[in-house]
Amino acid sequence: MPVVHPSDAVVHEIHGARFVSYAHPSTGSKELCAWRGEIPAGTKATLHTVNREEILHILEGELVITLDGRTERVGAGDTLIINPGVTFGAENPTDRTAVTWVTTTIGLEAELADGTRVVAPWAN
C-alpha cells in the first residue's frame, strides 16, 4: 500500500500558485492524481481550460472563481466541479493564502487563452 508522507510530496510553482503533489504515477497511483493547491493573497490565475474533469475543494480561505464567464466567491468547505473544456480562473482577493485539495485523472493538460498548452507535472 503506497503511503505518501508530506516530506515525499513534490512541489511545483507556476503562475504565482504552489502545487504540492501527493498522488500521481510516480507515487503509485494508477488512475488519479491529487494535490494541495496554495494560492497566495493577491494572486490572479490565468484563465485556462482543462482536458480532464477536476474536483477542487476549498480547505482554507476564499477565492473568486470564474467558470465559463460566471463569477462567484467561494470559501472553505465549498467544492468546484470543473468539467473538461470549461474556461476556469481563480483569484484570491483576500489577505491570506487560500488552500485547496484537487483531484483529477492522470493526463491533465491546460490551454491558456493565448493557445499555450501546459502539461501539469503534478498530474502526469
1 located within any domain = no
**Dihedral, CA of residue 96, residue 39, residue 65 and residue 102, to nearest 10:** -130
Residue numbers of the domain that contains 102: 6-123
The set of cell numbers assigned to 48 is 485556462
Domain for residue 118, yes or no?
A: yes
Give the pLDDT band (50/70/90) at residue 120.
Answer: confident
CA distance 24 to 30: 8
Query: Mean pLDDT, to the nearest integer, of 88-116?
Result: 95
pLDDT (0 to 100) of residue 2: 83
Question: 43 vs 62, 71, 112, 118, 122, CA distance in Å?
Answer: 12, 16, 16, 19, 20
Indicate whether 45 belongs to any domain.
yes
Distance in angstroms between the alpha carbons of the first and the last residue of the chain = 20
Q: What CA–CA distances, in Å, run from 17 to 1, 11, 25, 73, 100?
A: 30, 10, 22, 18, 11
| pLDDT tier at 122, thresholds 50, 70, 90 | confident
Q: Is residue 63 part of a domain?
A: yes
Q: Is residue 52 part of a domain?
A: yes
d(C-alpha 99, C-alpha 78), whole Å: 12
Q: What CATH number is attached to the domain comprising 14?
A: 2.60.120.10
The amino acid that residue 19 corresponds to is F
Is residue 51 situated within a structural domain?
A: yes
Reported as a single tens digit per residue, the pLDDT across 14-37 is: 888 999 999 999 999 999 999 999
Tally of domains in the chain? 1
pLDDT in tens, 24-71: 999 999 999 999 999 999 999 889 999 999 999 999 999 999 999 999
As a whole number of angstroms, the distance between CA 106 and CA 114 comes to 24
pLDDT band per the 50, 70, 90 thresholds, residue 1: low
